[in-house]
Structure 1
Amino acid sequence: MTVARRLALGLAALPLLLLAACSSDDQGSNTDPSQVDAIDAPELGACRLLTPDDVAMASNATRTVDCTEKHTAETFAVGDLPQSFDHADVDDKELGAWAYRTCSEKFQRFLGADESLVMRTVVSWAWFRPSEKAWSAGARWYRCDAVGGGEQSTSYVALPQTAKGLLLGVPDDKWMVCASGPTVSGSVKIPCSHHHDWRAVTTIKLGESGDDYPGDRLVEVKTRDYCSGSVAAWLSYPVDYDFGYTYFHEAEWSAGNRRSVCWAKTNA
């Protein structure tokens, strides 16, 4: 029996860690003077009302708020950078790759999820480093924040008092990512608790950390072929079904991402 399938190709974006600063002097909205150009590492567990514009900055000094109050970001990891960055430039590309690996691993442990589940949640993470002035003065710290939204978000949703363990067990649909639109590509990404057309249901790992980038074509073909079968299984092998997929390119591979995402047409 022939199974009809429509391929809805989309290209996912890299998590927020690689966004560059819009201005070397801009450290976000509602800044705290004591945090601007700070030499010492930020506070672990601090909460903030960050916006997508704040996250687009390489450094951030937005005031903290009590975590019992409304907030869209929670700092889940802070620390000192490796000594290999002692004499590096503030915009060293290796710093972004190191932050991707470090924050990604800590983010998974913080939410209580594996890599596949983390890629299918509306919650994402951003990382910040010292300002250029602080870097020149010797500051070498990093800060990883969980944020209530993703790359396409125009605003962030409020997080619970703490996002620690947010994805343990069976996560609530309001924290899982779905899409609204005729195809996955270019569609609006929304929580699955909202009416949606597509749901991110599985992922495929395309290589290990030390592997060379296999090329755009091979990444796309492997993703498409895997998602075809994976989505069929998730839907309990219907006669007719639609699926989509998102994959990444060489820049994201170099930063550490090795997974593509499979989407099922649900009309839920």
Structure 2
Amino acid sequence: MKPVLLLCLLAVLAACSSPSPTASPTPSDAPSSSTAPPSAAADTPTSSAPAPPPRPARDGCHRLTLSQAVAPVVAGTDVPCRQKHTSETYKIGRLPLLVGGHLVAVDSPSVQSYVADTCRSTVGDHVGGSPEDLRLSMLQAVWFTPSVEEAALGADWFRCDVVALSGSGRLALLPRSTKGVLASSDRFAMCSTASPDSTTHKRVPCSARHSWTAIATVGLSGQSYPSARAASRQMDSACRSAARARAADPLDFSWSQERPSQEQWKAGQRYGICWAPAS
């Protein structure tokens, strides 16, 4: 996952001053009417601060490009879910901007971690299937927060969307609803155009043309990014067993493995992927 930048919340402080007292009229110059004349301030038009934008609609659908999907603020076009779309909102939450009675900036580490962890941990509940099914799919969680101007007006929401990578620098079209899609279909399962050690290796949904299939994931230990050799030592046995279990001939089968890239490792992916030729 590409890192997502969250924008700063601007605190708006309004200073108030009491109007200067006016002199009381003397009996000789007081108006004969019981109604006092309007003050000069009443003739001056007043303006109120604009209201914050409405919270996004949960379960809404959107037409986004890949670059818009990884942007920190909402972009793209809202569309009915019956029309073509590339993202679906599955959660709207409130930003934890008040800690210990003090405002916390939208781009503070605590807020960033909260939003990322919340969206990542809840996408599985929406799309269904097991955590392993989600790891072996092209579905991803993305999230958005208010812009600087919206946050300054009091917007305190965040939005979690699910998108599907198409493998060609674009997002795949989603069905009318992605609720439970992993539990009911392999449409967004992860496949590849070639073996992961090939220069033509490109991840694609299994609904597209492919020759290899992602069959298992293996957790990688250690705090630092593992070398290819270190990752292979941890993954070798598990990947071989997974490939053998699905092979027609347990004595004649092929398999391969793929460690996370440095960018994926930095984003929190602490597992490698086992691959086997598509049946």
Q: TM-score if structure 1 supplies the norm length?
A: 0.73
Residue aligning to 2:242: 230
Residue aligning to 1:213: 223
Counterparts of residues 34-45 of structure 1 (less than 5 Å): 39-45=53-59
Residue aligning to 2:182: 167
Counterparts of residues 239-250 of structure 1 (less than 5 Å): 239-247=252-260, 249=262
Asked if the contact 2:255–2:274 (Cα under 8 Å) also holds between the matched residues in 1, the reply is no
- Rounded to whole Å, the distance in 2 between the matches of 1:48 and 1:184 is 35
Deviation at 1:197, TM superposition (A): 2.3
Greater RCO, 1 or 2 (C-alpha within 8 Å, sep 6+): 1
- Rounded to whole Å, the distance in 2 between the matches of 1:221 and 1:92 is 38
Residue aligning to 1:265: 277
Q: Which amino acid aligns with 2:240?
A: S
The number of aligned residues is 231
Consecutive unaligned residues of structure 1, counting only runs of 5 or more, are 1-13, 25-36
Asked if the contact 2:231–2:259 (Cα under 8 Å) also holds between the matched residues in 1, the reply is no
Structure with higher Rg: it is: 2
Deviation at 1:124, TM superposition (A): 1.9
Say whether 1:122 aligns with 2:138.
Answer: yes
- Rounded to whole Å, the distance in 2 between the matches of 1:219 and 1:41 is 44
- Rounded to whole Å, the distance in 2 between the matches of 1:117 and 1:100 is 20
Deviation at 1:182, TM superposition (A): 4.5
Assess, with a 3 A threshold, how the Cα gap between structure 1 residues 71 and 215 changes in structure 2: closer, same or farther. Answer: closer
- Rounded to whole Å, the distance in 1 between the matches of 2:113 and 2:161 is 16
Say whether 1:176 aligns with 2:189.
Answer: yes
Consecutive unaligned residues of structure 2, counting only runs of 5 or more, are 9-50
Asked if the contact 2:212–2:275 (Cα under 8 Å) also holds between the matched residues in 1, the reply is yes
Say whether 1:59 aligns with 2:73.
Answer: yes
| Percent identical | 25
- Rounded to whole Å, the distance in 1 between the matches of 2:259 and 2:177 is 30
- Where 1:261 maps in the other structure, the secondary structure is strand
Q: Which amino acid aligns with 1:70?
A: K
- Where 1:229 maps in the other structure, the secondary structure is helix
Asked if the contact 2:68–2:75 (Cα under 8 Å) also holds between the matched residues in 1, the reply is no
* Root mean square deviation, CA, Å: 3.1
- Where 1:126 maps in the other structure, the secondary structure is strand
Deviation at 1:177, TM superposition (A): 1.3
Deviation at 1:158, TM superposition (A): 1.8
Assess, with a 3 A threshold, how the Cα gap between structure 1 residues 141 and 153 changes in structure 2: closer, same or farther. Answer: farther
Asked if the contact 2:216–2:274 (Cα under 8 Å) also holds between the matched residues in 1, the reply is yes
Assess, with a 3 A threshold, how the Cα gap between structure 1 residues 100 and 204 changes in structure 2: closer, same or farther. Answer: farther
Asked if the contact 1:200–1:264 (Cα under 8 Å) also holds between the matched residues in 2, the reply is yes
Residue aligning to 2:114: 98
